[in-house]
Amino acid sequence: MRAARLHGYDQRLQIDEVPTPELRGPHDVIVRIGGAGLCRTDLHIIEGIWQEKSGVQLPYTLGHENAGWVEAVGDAVTSVRAGDAVIVHPLITCGLCPACRSGEDMHCEHGRFPGITTDGGFAEYLLTGERALVRLAEGVEPAQVAPYADAGLTAYRAARKAAGLLRPGRWAVVLGIGGLGHLALQCLQHLSAARLIAVDPSPTARELARELGADHVVDGSDPVAAVRELTGGGAHVVVDLVGERGVQQQAVAMLRQGGTHVVVGYGDTLQVPTIDLIFSEISIVGSLVGSHTELSELMSLHAAGKLELRTRRYRLDDINQAIEDLQQGRIKGRAVLVP
Amino acid sequence: MRAARLHGYDQRLQIDEVPTPELRGPHDVIVRIGGAGLCRTDLHIIEGIWQEKSGVQLPYTLGHENAGWVEAVGDAVTSVRAGDAVIVHPLITCGLCPACRSGEDMHCEHGRFPGITTDGGFAEYLLTGERALVRLAEGVEPAQVAPYADAGLTAYRAARKAAGLLRPGRWAVVLGIGGLGHLALQCLQHLSAARLIAVDPSPTARELARELGADHVVDGSDPVAAVRELTGGGAHVVVDLVGERGVQQQAVAMLRQGGTHVVVGYGDTLQVPTIDLIFSEISIVGSLVGSHTELSELMSLHAAGKLELRTRRYRLDDINQAIEDLQQGRIKGRAVLVP
Amino acid sequence: MRAARLHGYDQRLQIDEVPTPELRGPHDVIVRIGGAGLCRTDLHIIEGIWQEKSGVQLPYTLGHENAGWVEAVGDAVTSVRAGDAVIVHPLITCGLCPACRSGEDMHCEHGRFPGITTDGGFAEYLLTGERALVRLAEGVEPAQVAPYADAGLTAYRAARKAAGLLRPGRWAVVLGIGGLGHLALQCLQHLSAARLIAVDPSPTARELARELGADHVVDGSDPVAAVRELTGGGAHVVVDLVGERGVQQQAVAMLRQGGTHVVVGYGDTLQVPTIDLIFSEISIVGSLVGSHTELSELMSLHAAGKLELRTRRYRLDDINQAIEDLQQGRIKGRAVLVP
Amino acid sequence: MRAARLHGYDQRLQIDEVPTPELRGPHDVIVRIGGAGLCRTDLHIIEGIWQEKSGVQLPYTLGHENAGWVEAVGDAVTSVRAGDAVIVHPLITCGLCPACRSGEDMHCEHGRFPGITTDGGFAEYLLTGERALVRLAEGVEPAQVAPYADAGLTAYRAARKAAGLLRPGRWAVVLGIGGLGHLALQCLQHLSAARLIAVDPSPTARELARELGADHVVDGSDPVAAVRELTGGGAHVVVDLVGERGVQQQAVAMLRQGGTHVVVGYGDTLQVPTIDLIFSEISIVGSLVGSHTELSELMSLHAAGKLELRTRRYRLDDINQAIEDLQQGRIKGRAVLVP
């Protein structure tokens, strides 16, 4: 089959002919890819940022945001069968470690992460496990929903953490209204009744925030001052989808006494004097991709027609064009590769 | 009356003769001081670290950790009367702002903080408000419990935040077994059934940790490695009573996937790459002094005989000696000034 | 002033000329009534059901759902002033007991409940306390919002308890779409993304539920079977605004394994075999009127235009007509008395 | 192998020679029984109370509280191997349904319950699944810990529900200090710092409660009055291990405003006027056996030496004697059958 593989850091991906993956264990599942989302993490992988953390050997196939149809299943698989349309949770989990047992399966001690630590979904077929799959509702097309598998799931988990701290009348800020941010904004609207401020330096992103119904939309010129004034003293929660270029520091500066900074975007280093942590009693909360349960919940929101996901499709062969478009900020919403 | 006042930053306190405070508002209460604890924050105030945050004018009387007897009460006071033995919550709160309404009164929008923003308790009498007082159980002497008002309350709140994340078999680390740490350790023992590791470079402090029943006691040579090995991959929660000299960075490095760093001590700046916040999905949680409700709970623990508070008494006139002893690490437990 | 008073159980109210209330304590506030909602609890009071619990002496003025304008304030009042438009939390609380301290002020140990235990708002003026008041946003008319003070606040608190248990894709049932139910339904829509089923035997009420956007609307013929089929095994949460005529038993029979019955309506006795409580691991959760903080949150929802409150106005002199209309089920939404 | 089987309701068990169970699925595990606890639920099964709920066909082998050694494992088993000493969670769960995914595996949609719905552990060997097993710490003997698998786990889960509502100074009551109660009491001591009142009509049970350090011990003559007086108005939480003979009603009558009745014991019907549920805003919370995660946590408490489990051993052949002793209240702690 054809697959887009990384042969060296800071290089373009190559479309290679590689063996189709085969079932090896009793819970393995082969998924025929319907669509695979392109993520900023793919750019970071190509830049080599993840090299040490993932420990992966080159070349390998990227793509960790996948949906498609079940092609073949291992002997012990009971919950899906060939032909089922599915979205693929990014992690293959064991189901038996303490994290899996307690519902936090994205912290699985034996988790494998196709597209990051093993071959992913920028290909015709993907090897994953039964535990990773969520069946799609009748009539939902895989390519249409693939970005929920990672971008959506990450946005949803961050929004859940934020919503747990928000009550009507409280203020939340979403920093960065891109692929994740436009979903985080919508999830917050459905999971809380807080007042929402969207911040983005890009006019296109701000227009999107307005279309999606943000209560206030702020540009990047002096967002800290703007938020402090709107909120009368700072936000209760800031969801930061950027995490670099100083935005991570702005997030902290926007917080009200007792406020929480939910960190989703990454790249730079956060610096906070400990006296500020104490005196304002603020929290800084990292947020990873969500659990399988959270992916199911997100697909329920989608099935109920409550979310608008912006995507742009590319053929698998055009992946380097998609990467370039993402790097240049030319994509509104999320790029999806269709093999 | 006599009071120990700060006339200039980085100077010794002076014992001055000042007017005895008088009732001004209907909820005011005058407390005759039985004991006032000396806190590392007093050292930081003298060093000028709080100058900008507090906006206080010199000279003024320090002392924010007070207990004593009610001397006089304002017209509208109903909950205490003259002669009652009381411990004094450090903050005078309004009772009407959203923070007070929701039980988080230490975030009161109109809070005054005697000993930090107005005259405190290193004196014969203190002006405070009805809402700050917790009546002591029969037979409890004020000088014996004064350090609970701030050191104890801060340790208790941090322990409660930690305990909410701990279940039997999980691991918690307490960094720094001094005035706050020896109480945080005991509170954690009573609020959770987690396994507790105490870390301190001082042999005296480690001995105290052992006496108090810490499951493991670690010195300061390579605490990160020691904790990671004991816990098989990192602690679920680290309570950091130091917050400076690099300890704040060690705290983060000790955390397990999904772990939480509760920051209580302060002084230096915490630096965390956002990718580490995300990838390990850790949280950093500032913790201030506790609420009035938490002070009541802490006094219940004391009344039940569950806490051992180490104090050393000084006469008010010897306050500069006490300050020097604290600076030199010569005090086991907490210094209490008795007028 | 004129006031509608109860002189004997099971009798009509009388419009009496009574002395206008006067300030007695430093935190007292006199409110000129703009509107006072009529509640099913008023019917229960007239029937004598509350006689023993309230211990009130007849005659007295009913009316516990009030809004208006501040007329006069006691000496120590700082948070409102004459002329302010306000909604009145039904309870006058002390601010100093453990319940008030922890944000659960509707459990105040010294609470007084005008309209139930003392004179209420079916009158021109009401004596209440500073702690009971929430200032209205610019342009909001008291008569328009009075029912939020009790019906709305009770519905909101129940919805919050329910929402804490609901996640996208889960099922909630609202039993009874009357004065409280039509608000509980809307609050649930804003506080959760669960799927909502409205149940009511009245065609008018079901029409209202449809207009408000319930996902499913069920009549009273066999609601247990209907809910079990729609939900594939039972609801996660049932909010029961009826609590009598067997509905309280239907609520339990509708629950899924691990489900929760939130009880708001009252009248009959709930009977549950303990084996069913265990085997299905269900919870039964009583819900009272909400806290002051919850009233503020509810007014934020209203100010954001998220709630539709159906009211019908009566002159104070027509109160017995209003009572009869409520008894006969002739009121869509909530009756409001305007003096 | 030999097994104690029920051939007819209200009859004595028979020791039969039956085929040893065999591996059928890839995650099956055969456990050689080291000890199997005798539970009041076994009495209820023999009486026929569970007949309808379990739908089991007679004859079959009772025994749902098992520990032993792994004898053989299915092809896909990775987490245990032959020879491991294990305690057996009572439920065989699927790992894939929403309940298992979210950490509430005792609500598994496909759960099987050996000893209740299929053959149990009053035998030499037991067929269970990999997901049910918790490995024992070095040196722990299965017969010594078997009662944790159900009695302990049920007590622990109830104590956790209670502990989540308890803070220092609050009051909890444990009703019934038998097999479950003496463990619930100890778990509460380790999971909270509340004040604990133990209630039991039996002098032996009360003596046990005193030995275990209950703060107050009350007999059965008028426990409601005794608790209301000790607590100054009622308990915050009552854990009811009895659930019959009127005790379930006493539990409700002991509650303070806002209190919670955790129901563990069963037999009779609970009756509560809905007005009492509302007016006192109380909750009634059923509690089943715990999750696998909770069993691990409980075994951590045991491994830390924090629990004292009273057992009395019988040979499997003497099972009817054990049953009679349990019925007659002649067993202090828990009976364990050793094959």
* Chain A contacts to D (CB-CB under 8 A): 25-27, 75-76, 78-79, 94-96, 98, 101-105, 130-131, 291-293, 296
List all chains that touch chain D, counting a touch as 3 or more CB pairs closer than 8 Å.
A, B, C
Neighbours of C317 (CB within 10 A): 12
- Maximum alpha-carbon separation in chain A: 61
Q: Which of B147-161, B325-339, D173-187 has the lowest mean pLDDT?
A: B325-339
Whether C31 has a pLDDT exceeding 90, the answer reads: yes
Q: Which H or E element spans position A324?
A: helix A319-327
A27 close to A15: Cβ distance less than 8 angstroms: no
User: What pLDDT does C333 receive?
Assistant: 77
Interchain CB distance below 8 Å, C26 and B76 = yes
D203 cis-preceded (ω within 30 degrees of 0)? no
Closest CA to C86 of C134, C29, C144: C134
CA-based radius of gyration for chain D? 20
Strand pairing class (C125-129; C28-37): antiparallel
Residues of chain C in contact with residue A306, where contact means CB-CB under 8 angstroms, are 193
Confidence of residue B251 (pLDDT cuts 50, 70, 90): very high
pLDDT tens digits for range C193-209:
999 999 999 998 999 99
Neighbouring C-beta atoms of residue B225, cutoff 10 Å: 12
Residue matched to tokens 């109830």: D158
pLDDT in tens, B79-100: 999 999 999 999 999 999 999 9
pLDDT tens, position by position, B118-144:
999 999 999 999 999 999 999 999 999
How many residues are given for chain D?
A: 339
Q: pLDDT band at residue C301, thresholds of 50, 70 and 90?
A: very high
Which residues of chain D does C53 touch, with a Cβ-Cβ cutoff of 8 Å? Answer: 275, 279
| A23–chain D nearest CA distance, Å | 14
ipTM for the predicted complex: 0.94
Tell me the Ramachandran region of residue D245: left when phi exceeds 0, alpha when psi lies from -120 to 50, beta otherwise: left
Q: Give CA angle at A323 (A318, A324), nearest 5°.
A: 100
User: In 3D, which of A253, A334, A329, A297 has the Cα closest to residue A134?
Assistant: A297
User: Looking at residue B214, what is its pLDDT?
Assistant: 97
Placement of tokens 């270029």 in the chain: A245
The minimal CB distance from A286 to the residues B104, B268, B283 is found for B283
User: Is C270 in contact with D274 (Cβ distance < 8 A)?
Assistant: yes
pLDDT of amino acid C1: 96
Judged against a pLDDT cut of 80, whether residue C137 lies above it is answered with yes
Partners of residue D244 in chain C, C-beta under 8 Å: 274
> Are D214 and D185 in contact, with CB atoms under 8 Å apart?
yes
Chain mean pLDDT for chain D: 95
**C85 neighbors C71 (Cβ within 8 angstroms):** no
D20: which residues sit within 8 A by CB, 6+ positions away? Answer: D1, D30, D124, D125
8 Å CB contact between C215 and C195:
yes
What's the pLDDT at B151? 95
Alpha carbon of A29: minimum distance to chain B alpha carbons (Å) = 26
Parallel/antiparallel/unpaired status of strands C2-6 and C235-240? unpaired
Rounded Cα–Cα distance for residues D69 and D81 (Å): 9
Higher pLDDT, A136 or C329: A136
Shortest CA gap A127–chain D (Å): 18
pLDDT of C49 over the 90 cut? no
Measured between beta carbons, which residues in chain B are less than 8 angstroms from residue D214? Answer: none
B102/C75 Cβ within 8 A: no
Spell out which residues of chain B touch residue D190, defining contact as CB-CB under 8 Å.
168, 193
- A79/D96 CB distance under 8 A: yes
Each residue's pLDDT tens digit, B169-202? 999 999 999 889 999 999 999 999 999 999 999 9
Q: Which residues of C touch D288 (CB under 8 A)?
A: 278-279, 281
Locate C187 and state its tokens: 């609050």
SS3 C258: strand
| pTM of structure | 0.96
Between A151-165, C38-52, C267-281, the lowest mean confidence (pLDDT) is in C38-52
Phi-psi region of B247 (alpha: psi -120 to 50; beta: other; left: phi over 0): alpha
Residue of D nearest to B196 (CA): D304
DSSP type of residue B22:
-
Q: Indicate yes or no: CB of B286 within 8 angstroms of CB of A286.
A: no
Cα–Cα distance list, B24 to A323, B77, D247 (Å): 69, 12, 55
Instruction: Average the pLDDT over B235-262 and give the result.
Output: 97
Chain C hits for D90, Cβ within 8 Å: none
CA distance D337 to D330: 16
Q: What are phi and psi of C88, to 5 degrees?
A: -110, 115
Is A297's CB within 8 Å of C169's CB?
Answer: yes
Output the six-digit token pair for B151: 């050191």
Q: Residue D59: pLDDT above 90?
A: yes
**Of the candidates D107, D274, D276, which has its C-beta nearest C265's C-beta?**
D274
What are φ and ψ of residue C313, in 5° steps? -95, 145
- Cβ within 8 Å, pair B79-C102: no
Task: State residue D310's pLDDT score.
Answer: 86
- Average pLDDT per block of 10 residues along chain A, 339 residues long: 97 97 96 96 91 88 98 96 98 96 95 94 98 95 96 97 97 95 97 97 94 95 97 97 96 98 96 96 97 98 93 96 92 89
Q: Which chains touch C (3 or more CB pairs under 8 A)?
A: A, B, D
User: For D271, which of C244, C269, C287 is closest by C-beta distance?
Assistant: C269
Residue C329 has pLDDT above 90, yes or no: no
Q: Measuring CA to CA, which residue among B189, B185, B134, B133 is closest to residue B155?
A: B185
Confidence of residue C51 (pLDDT cuts 50, 70, 90): confident
Q: And the tokens for C55?
A: 């211990």
Query: If you ran DSSP here, which 8-state letter would residue B267 be given?
Result: S
Gap between the Cα atoms of B37 and A232, Å rounded: 36
Cβ distance A193 to C195 less than 8 Å, yes or no, reads no
> Would the CB atoms of D103 and A105 count as touching at under 8 Å?
no
Which two three-digit tokens encode residue B336?
């209490």
A195–C304 CB contact, under 8 Å: yes
**Pick among C86, C101, C108 to test the B interface (most B CBs inside 10 A):** C101
Question: What is the distance in angstroms between the Cα of B209 and the nearest Cα belonging to chain A?
Answer: 25
What lies within 8 Å, CB to CB, of A107 at 6+ separation is A99, A288, B257, B258, B281
Label residue C148 by pLDDT band (50, 70, 90): very high
Residues, chain A: 339
Query: In D, which residues are within 8 Å of C268 by CB distance?
Result: 273-274
Report the pLDDT value the prediction gives residue B7, as an integer from 0 to 100: 97
For every residue of A105-151, DSSP letters joined together read: GGG-TT-B-BTTTB--SSBSEEEEEGGGEEEPPTT--HHHHGGGGTH
List of E strands, C168-281: 171-175, 195-199, 216-218, 235-240, 255-263, 269-273
Measured between alpha carbons, how far is A296 from A270 in angstroms, rounded to an integer?
A: 32
pLDDT at C310 > cutoff 90? no
Residues 6+ away with beta carbon under 8 Å from B173? B196, B197, B198, B199, B227, B235, B237, B238, B239, B251, B254
Enumerate the residues of chain C whose CB falls inside 8 A of the CB of residue A236.
none
**Contact yes or no for A102 and D26 at CB 8 A:** no
Which token pair is A23? 């079932």
Whether a cis peptide bond, with omega within 30° of 0, leads into D59 is yes
Do the Cβ atoms of A323 and A13 come closer than 8 Å?
yes
Whether the Cβ atoms of residue D334 and residue D40 lie closer than 8 Å to each other: no
Would you state the pLDDT for residue C220? 84
Chain D residue numbers with beta carbons less than 8 Å from the beta carbon of B172 are none
Q: Token pair of D153, please?
A: 């786990």
D271 C-beta neighbours (distance < 10 Å), count: 12
Q: Which residue of D has its CA nearest to B167?
A: D297
C170 → chain D, closest CA residue: D98
Nearest residue of B to residue D156 by CA position?
B168
Q: In what order do the strands lie in the sheet with A14-17?
A: A14-17, A2-6, A60-61
Residue of D nearest to A105 (CA): D101
CB contacts, 8 Å: D298 with chain B: 168
- What is the three-class DSSP state of B68? strand
- Residue D226 confidence (pLDDT): 98
Name the neighbours of B, counting chains with at least 3 Cβ pairs within 8 A.
A, C, D
Q: How far is D193 from chain B (nearest CA, A)?
A: 6
Of C57, C29, C222, which is closest to residue C133 (Cα–Cα)? C29
Q: Specify the pLDDT at position A244.
A: 93
Alpha-carbon distance values, B105 to A269, B110, C102, C215 (Å): 33, 10, 9, 41
pLDDT in tens, C65-96: 999 999 999 999 999 999 999 999 999 999 99
Q: Across the strands, what pairs with C61?
A: C5
